[in-house]
Amino acid sequence: MLTKKIVPLQSFLSVVSRRAGHLAGRHYDVIVVGGGHAGTEAAAAAARVGAETLLVTQKIHTIGVLSCNPSLGGVGKGQLVKEVDALDGLCGRAGDWAGIYFSILNRRKGPAVWGPRAQLDRQRYREFIQSELLCTPRLTVLEGAVEELMVTDANPQEPGRHRVTGIRLANDSDPILASSVVLTTGTFLSGSLFMGRTTSPGGRIGDAPSSAGISNTLRDRLGLRMGRLKTGTPPRILKDSVDFSLAKFQPPDSIPSPFSFLNTHVRCKPEEQQSCYLTYTTPGVERVVRETLHLNCHVQQDTKGPRYCPSIESRVLRFPGRSHQVWLEPEGVNSDLLYPQGLTMTMPPEMQLRLIREIPPFHRAEIHTPGYGVHYDYVCPTQLSPALQVKSAQGLFLAGQINGTTGYEEAAAQGVWAGANAARSALSMPPVTLSRTESYIGVLIDDLVTRGVTEPYRMFTSRAEFRTSLRPDNADLRLTLKGFEEVGCVSSFRYQETVRVRDSLQEALTALQSLTMSPPAWRKKLPDIRMIVRYFVCLFFSGMEVLQYQDVSFEMLESVFPECLSPYKEFSQRLKIEAVYRPHCELQKRDIERIQREENMSLPQDIDYFSLPVSLSVEVRQILDRVRPSTLGAATRLPGVTPAAIVHLLNYVWHKGQKEKRAHKRQLHQKEDREEELSARNAS
Amino acid sequence: RYFFALASCRLTPPHRRLCTGDGGPAGLADAQTVFALSSGYGRCGVAVIRVSGPASMTALRSMAGLKHRLPPPRTALLRSITDPRTEEVLDRGLVLWFPGPHSFTGEDSAEFHVHGGPAVIAAVLQALGSVPGMRPAEAGEFTRRAFQAGKLGLTEVEGLGDLIHAETEAQRRQALRQMSGELGRLYQDWSRKLKRCLAHVEAFIDFSEDELIEDGVLNQVDTSVLNLQTEIERHLKDERRGERLRSGVQVVIAGATNAGKSSLLNTLCQRPAAIVSPIAGTTRDVVETALDVGGFPILLSDTAGLRDSPDLVEREGVRRARERVEQADLTLVVVDGSHLPPDDGEAAVFLQDHLSGVLPTQDQCLLVLNKVDLLTEETKQKLEADLSRVPGLPPLCFISCHTNEGLQHFLTELHNRVKTLCGDPLSGAPTLTQARHRAHLQQCVAALAQYQRYRDADLALAAEGVRLALTGLGRITGRVGAEEILDIIFKDFCIGK
């Protein structure tokens, strides 16, 4: 995939129409509103599933823009990138194309928590995403501002249920119709920008917020509960004005590891990688923050911001008297700018300059663009189904920051899933869900739709109970097969590749299991390994068990048994990880199966919990009515729902299942009878 | 030694454990088989202990001396029951073997019918806990397993929710009683320390690459984990350290001041255990007596009269009284019968109000109208007739501690209630709770060992150890969610992106 030629931007713009006149009145399967990480993944996924898709964005040339930090992945986030890639999404391959500094975080802490991460070249990333969208069949891109989201009136048979019908663009009277609409408005929904004491409407510096029409439909027509969150971005600094000799050099990995399972290497040559530096704040920074507090309305607002991506103001206010890390990150190969990660600030521009000059490497630095804060609306995500569809509006899907998350990777993950489900809904296929036992995307969506958010949600590895099973190295085995067989969002090329990988891994593990020797024999073969033998536990060691030792690598075993193991050399790292983790994953299997069994019992969305003829307390009824969990598994994770209540629900679901089974049987019988009758008639 | 091992290997070839590094997570092996005392306790000649799950056969063979032959299915066998660790004979009793799917739970099950003494039951439960792969059952687990195997009929399923509710409710009361003591404080303290350990390891995993989280954090965790491990191990070894668990049905006497609660206690135990005086607020602390009612053990507590008082000591007494009522299996609400409003309609309302002031829930209580000797026969009969018609009132007893009038009827009523309560194996058997605690603590220790084993090789697997330890302890002290850990992380560290 890396060898693909990037289509120049100009030709891209000429292919897609800037004017929407001829599209008015047309019907699409899926319309995606927004061209950020969620929007691009959603549009591409919908098209892959087979839906005629339209992507509408304010400015075509900002599709795939990295609005904040020029990096992708990290601890927890890297897992999401791997999973999006396993579902044939864009961001993994785009990262491999645009990366200019690769490192695996947590390298020394165990493969389950490795965090693949890359610094990106902004220009290259945008180019890749745009050209990829251009090459996607069934996908049209349109420049325009959405004026109105159109929904039907509530269905009188099912009170509170609407259906989405399409969108209307600004300056255009005719609507564009669609069966599904995916909203990925990011920070643009009623967005306002803060810098010092000035406030202006906008979703990103230089870009207008989305129209009030969308907010109105969500809030007033659909009656969705909404909230407000904030985030921010640091100033960009001119590279030439920075004294790097005062900062600590941070080398990249000597051999970059690609994000995508399809790539064996990245575009950037190992020796051509850029540099990152690390420095620290000084007491002077804290002084400036305190002195300018009265000029800073973003900080004074009590809107919730992310606890783990706080502005420098909230950092020094919460943890005074300490020095904080600042990372100096490159913005691109040819860019003359520098991104100071950790210095998000919203004070007036002249104060920002004063502040950064308190940090040694910046003592003569010049600011290119000042930092600013953004406030934006989000929809309380407990109103969504696990397919990310708004429960009260058939065909309306939400993904990204509009659901209260933060970060590119979280947005991309929701985008793929919302896009695939929007397409399935438009093509009359049943929705698909991901369990938290099989993926980080499942954890993300389950946390959002069952617990909701109180602050911008970011992925951490500690949120995944089954972290040791959900590793970055096995994302393809977990998701690609399902993505092809059940969802339809994976190309057959990738599917076949994954099937090959799966079968080879299986063969290799079987081979390792079958290579057994007594400990003395192993010692003779591998003299450097200290093998602890418990005489009552192990008498013969298999290759698999020997591989579990910390100092043993697959290469060592391969040198001992070249004839059996050399065909699997390309998987040496995966096999080593698999051998170490397998016993732990086996232990987790029972819990995973229990959760999956509970998640397979779905609770109908139209239950009236208040009139359900089972004995439930009023509090439990209220909780269930508010959240409307879609499965029994989700219900058990709700705080306040008692074990007894779960059993009553279980009983209800079971009864319903029995009833349906009986009805189904009756239908079958009737069908058989009819067929018999027919054949009897034919015979006569 | 090596030769011996080799020889035994030849005898039982394929059964080998996976060995990770130096031993693997063997201590945490699959715990699918559960056991519990399923008969009541107290005056019972025979106690039935039920085992269900794949390891049932192992348990049966190793404890009933059936190593060399299979027990015939569904047939009672008289065997000596031994402790598999020490080979010591615990009791002689009947064992039964029910191969799945033809059993109550649909799984392989076994039953041990042993003599009903608490020492025997405790010994057999402990011995069962030592068989690999066995753990004590959670509330309602047998029934739930039967449900999942499709073994329950429609009507039984309908009652299942209520059954589990009753069982969890009994367990909650049981836990509340134990958690309020020294033991509870100890477990809570461990849980708090473990939570901190986990939060710090998680912070190190999720944030140390970008943030200022010093390596020193992990060293602190090492020390904490090691300390906790030794502390819990010592606790498991030293039986005396645990608080002696009170046994018997917990019956609490409660009510307003001067209603005659202490007199009732003295009447029941036939000795002046509590001081009685006409002064309101005589009893200030909880007075406890162990009693035998018709063969069933009960623990009777007299409490301070409930009223608002400016006196600090009395206020503490009232607090303790309310705490006891909360934990009680059965509450005797004593009312001064001579102070009831004369009008019949009003008496019922008065009693309802009074009850809601004393009790949080009214399902387990007896209403005792004391001092009936002060009423005329006519008023008494009228009251009795009126109040028996009022729906929603708990069962009523008219007594006089002064003349012993109505006492026989009251004792019969009390006997019946206690009998029902004792039939529920969970309502007060401390041995069962102890066995459960032990199992969870052992799981906790094994998991902490996993942390140490993987500390340097793979922090993700080490953290998994702390997580499992917390899950084990959480089964005693209450579940811990991911959000709680994140809260500690953000409180203790300055985290940025």
Give percent above pLDDT 90 in chain B. Answer: 8
Residues in A 517-556 with any Cβ partner in B closer than 8 A: 532, 534-541, 545, 548-550
Sheet architecture: strand order including A276-280: A248-250, A276-280, A325-330, A337-341, A236-238, A367-369
Q: Which helix (H) or strand (E) holds A201?
A: strand A198-201
A111 vs B495: CB contact, 8 Å cut-off?
Answer: no
Q: How confident is the model at residue B32 (pLDDT cuts 50, 70, 90)?
A: confident
Question: Which of B168, B458, B485 is closest, CB to CB, to A643?
Answer: B168
B168 vs A462: CB contact, 8 Å cut-off?
Answer: no
Question: Which of B202, B460, B497 is closest, CB to CB, to A308?
Answer: B497
- Residues whose CB is less than 8 angstroms from the CB of residue A528 and which lie 6 or more positions away in sequence, other chains included: A551
What chain B holds in terms of domains, given with CATH numbers, is 33-137 (3.30.1360.120), 244-422 (3.40.50.300)
Between the CA atoms of A296, A300, A304 and A309, what dihedral angle is there, to the nearest 10 degrees?
Answer: 40
Q: Are residues A106 and A226 in the same domain?
A: yes
State the average pLDDT over residues B127-143: 79
Rounded CA separation A523/A520 (Å): 5
pLDDT at A244: 94
To the nearest whole Å, the CA of A547 is away from the closest chain B CA by: 9
Q: Are residues A54 and A185 in the same domain?
A: yes
Rounded CA separation B433/A387 (Å): 43
State the average pLDDT over residues A394-418: 96
Maximum average pLDDT range among A256-260, B92-96, B313-317: A256-260
A325 vs B496: CB contact, 8 Å cut-off?
Answer: yes
Q: Are residues A148 and A62 in the same domain?
A: yes
Question: Lowest-pLDDT range, A40-44, A199-203, B14-18, B405-409?
Answer: B14-18
Residues in A 434-473 with any Cβ partner in B closer than 8 A: 451, 460-463, 465, 467-468
Maximum average pLDDT range among A478-487, B127-136, B172-181: A478-487
pLDDT at A18: 45
Q: Which CATH number belongs to the domain containing residue A324 in this structure?
A: 2.40.30.260
Q: Could you read off the pLDDT of B241-252 as tens digits, one per residue? A: 333 445 567 889
Rounded CA separation A515/A543 (Å): 5
Beta bridge partners of A326: A279
Residue A492 inside a domain? The answer is no
pLDDT at A79: 96
Collapsed DSSP state (helix, strand, coil) of residue A25: coil
Collapsed DSSP state (helix, strand, coil) of residue A390: strand
Rounded CA separation A278/A307 (Å): 22
A644 vs B161: CB contact, 8 Å cut-off?
Answer: yes
Query: How does the average pLDDT of chain A come out, rounded?
Result: 87
Of B458, B475, B484, B490, which to mutate for an interface test with A (greatest number of A Cβ within 10 Å)? Answer: B458
Q: Are residues A587 and A620 in the same domain?
A: no
Better-scored residue on pLDDT, A164 or B457: A164
Q: Which of A345, A308, A550 is nearest to B457 (CA)?
A: A550
Q: Where are the beta strands (DSSP E) in A462-573?
A: 516-517, 541-542
pLDDT at B133: 81
Q: Where are the beta strands (DSSP E) in A6-96?
A: 27-33, 53-57, 71-73
pLDDT at A123: 94
CA B67 to the chain's CA centroid: 34
State the average pLDDT over residues B172-189: 66
pLDDT at B406: 85
Q: What single DSSP character describes residue A280?
A: E
Domain with A589, as residue range(s), is: 510-594
A536 vs B5: CB contact, 8 Å cut-off?
Answer: yes
Does residue A384 carry a pLDDT above 50?
yes
B19 vs A548: CB contact, 8 Å cut-off?
Answer: yes
Question: Lowest-pLDDT range, A444-448, B141-145, B457-461?
Answer: B141-145
Q: Could you read off the pLDDT of B37-79 as tens digits, one per residue? A: 877 655 567 888 999 998 898 889 889 888 777 788 889 999 9
Q: Are residues A438 and A545 in the same domain?
A: no
Residue A15 inside a domain? The answer is no
Residue A421 in contact with residue A428, Cβ under 8 Å? no
pLDDT at B171: 54
Does residue B29 carry a pLDDT above 60?
no
Among A371, A393, A415, the domain boundary falls at A371
Q: Which of B443, B406, B419, B460 is nearest to B133 (CA)?
A: B443
Residue of chain B minimizing CA distance to A518: B6
Residue A79 in contact with residue A312, Cβ under 8 Å? no
Query: How does the average pLDDT of chain B come out, rounded?
Result: 76
Q: Are residues A331 and A425 in the same domain?
A: no
Complex-level ipTM = 0.79
Does residue A2 carry a pLDDT above 60?
no
State the average pLDDT over residues A566-580: 91
A580 vs B17: CB contact, 8 Å cut-off?
Answer: no
Residue A271 inside a domain? The answer is yes
Residues in A 22-41 with any Cβ partner in B closer than 8 A: none
Q: At B347, which amino acid appears?
A: A
State the average pLDDT over residues A140-146: 91
B482 vs A465: CB contact, 8 Å cut-off?
Answer: yes
To the nearest whole Å, the CA of B421 is away from the closest chain A CA by: 20
State the average pLDDT over residues A27-40: 95
A112 vs B168: CB contact, 8 Å cut-off?
Answer: no
Does residue A39 carry a pLDDT above 90?
yes
Residue of chain B minimizing CA distance to A323: B212
Residues of B in contact with A309 (CB under 8 A): 496-497
Among A317, A342, A371, the domain boundary falls at A371
Q: Which of B447, B397, B146, B436 is nearest to B264 (CA)?
A: B397
Question: Which of B6, B30, B490 is closest, CB to CB, to A539?
Answer: B6
pLDDT at A415: 97
Question: Which of B24, B457, B497 is closest, CB to CB, to A550?
Answer: B457
Question: Which of B20, B210, B495 is closest, CB to CB, to A548?
Answer: B20
Better-scored residue on pLDDT, B309 or B18: B309
Q: Are residues A438 and A380 in the same domain?
A: yes
Q: How confident is the model at residue B488 (pLDDT cuts 50, 70, 90)?
A: low
Maximum average pLDDT range among B65-69, B169-173, B443-447: B443-447
Residues of A in contact with B133 (CB under 8 A): none
Q: Are residues A254 and A356 in the same domain?
A: yes
pLDDT at A15: 45
Does residue B11 carry a pLDDT above 50?
no
Q: 10 Å Cβ neighbour count for B395?
A: 12
Among A486, A519, A552, the domain boundary falls at A486
Q: Are residues A428 and A524 in the same domain?
A: no
Q: Could you read off the pLDDT of B467-486 as tens digits, one per residue? A: 889 888 877 766 565 666 66
Does residue A10 carry a pLDDT above 60?
no
Q: Tokens representing A170?
A: 């600004």
Of A103, A105, A109, which to mutate for an interface test with B (greatest number of B Cβ within 10 Å)? Answer: A109
Rounded CA separation A415/B99 (Å): 51
Residues in A 572-601 with any Cβ partner in B closer than 8 A: 580-584, 587, 590
Give percent above pLDDT 70 in chain B. Answer: 73
pLDDT at A277: 94
Residue A122 inside a domain? The answer is yes
State the average pLDDT over residues B98-126: 85
Q: Could you read off the pLDDT of B269-278 as tens digits, one per residue? A: 887 777 888 8
- How many domains does the structure of chain A reveal? 4
Residue A500 inside a domain? The answer is no
Residues of B in contact with A69 (CB under 8 A): 497
pLDDT at B280: 79
Q: What single DSSP character describes residue A483?
A: I
Q: Which CATH number belongs to the domain containing residue A153 in this structure?
A: 3.50.50.60
Residue A681 inside a domain? The answer is no
Q: How confident is the model at residue B268 (pLDDT cuts 50, 70, 90)?
A: confident
pLDDT at A402: 96
Better-scored residue on pLDDT, A546 or A492: A492
Question: Lowest-pLDDT range, A254-268, B328-342, B448-462?
Answer: B328-342
Q: Are residues A220 and A125 in the same domain?
A: yes
Q: How confident is the model at residue A620 (pLDDT cuts 50, 70, 90)?
A: confident
pLDDT at A676: 76
pLDDT at A296: 80
Residue A372 in contact with residue A232, Cβ under 8 Å? yes
Q: Are residues A185 and A249 in the same domain?
A: no
Between the CA atoms of A481, A482, A487 and A491, what dihedral angle is there, to the nearest 10 degrees?
Answer: -10
Q: Could you read off the pLDDT of A69-124 as tens digits, one per residue? A: 999 999 999 999 999 999 999 999 999 999 999 999 998 899 999 999 999 999 99
State the average pLDDT over residues A332-356: 92
A107 in contact with B, Cβ within 8 Å: no
Residue A11 inside a domain? The answer is no
pLDDT at B18: 31
Residue A169 inside a domain? The answer is yes
pLDDT at A86: 97
Does residue B6 carry a pLDDT above 50?
no
Does residue A54 carry a pLDDT above 90?
yes
Question: How many residue pairs from chains A and B have C-beta atoms closer than 8 A?
Answer: 170
Give percent above pLDDT 70 in chain A. Answer: 91
B157 vs A532: CB contact, 8 Å cut-off?
Answer: no
Q: Are residues A587 and A537 in the same domain?
A: yes
pLDDT at B290: 78
Residues of A in contact with B495 (CB under 8 A): 307-308
Residues of A in contact with B4 (CB under 8 A): 535
Residue with tokens 């003295």: B266
